[in-house]
Amino acid sequence: MHCLTDYDPKILLAFNLSLQGDRKFSDFLMQNGYQELEALSSSIHSNIAAQQWLLDNGFPEFAVLSNAIDDEPEAIAWLEKYHCDFLSKFAAACRKDPAAMKWFAANDLKLFVIIISNIQNILMYQSWDASDIHKFRRS
């Protein structure tokens, strides 16, 4: 199984900037053999095709991670079942679980704390968009 801890910090920084919507870092990930991180970034931004790419290309744990970040019980259970402990803690921290957030801080995982904070912001904006009456679709 793959884990975010497998990546060099510079690649994780590019992933974080991709999450923030910086296209040149998304392109960097795509062109340098880290398509899975760009797909994870897109999946966190609710791109279903990117999530399917993760499933089809040997990164199911990252597809499940995206769902666990969104607080889907089946995804959370899957990460626990397959002993994806770091990814499980990461998803919990993204959901603002106090124990998980404290674990990342206590273990001095600053880069992951930055990424988690960024994902928390993404989730907040997604929540706002979902409740904005001006963005509701009409049938």
Tokens, residue 6: 């497998």
The pLDDT assigned to 139 comes to: 42
Please indicate, yes or no, if residue 1 is contained in any of the structural domains: no
The pLDDT assigned to 9 comes to: 97
Low-confidence ranges of the chain (pLDDT < 70): 126-139
Please indicate, yes or no, if residue 116 is contained in any of the structural domains: yes
**What is the tally of structural domains in the chain?**
1
Please indicate, yes or no, if residue 59 is contained in any of the structural domains: yes
* pTM for the model: 0.88
Residue 134 Cα distances to 45, 124, 126, 127, 130, angstroms: 20, 17, 14, 14, 10
The pLDDT assigned to 110 comes to: 96
Q: Which domain holds residue 110?
A: 8-131
The pLDDT assigned to 132 comes to: 45
The pLDDT assigned to 125 comes to: 76
The pLDDT assigned to 127 comes to: 67
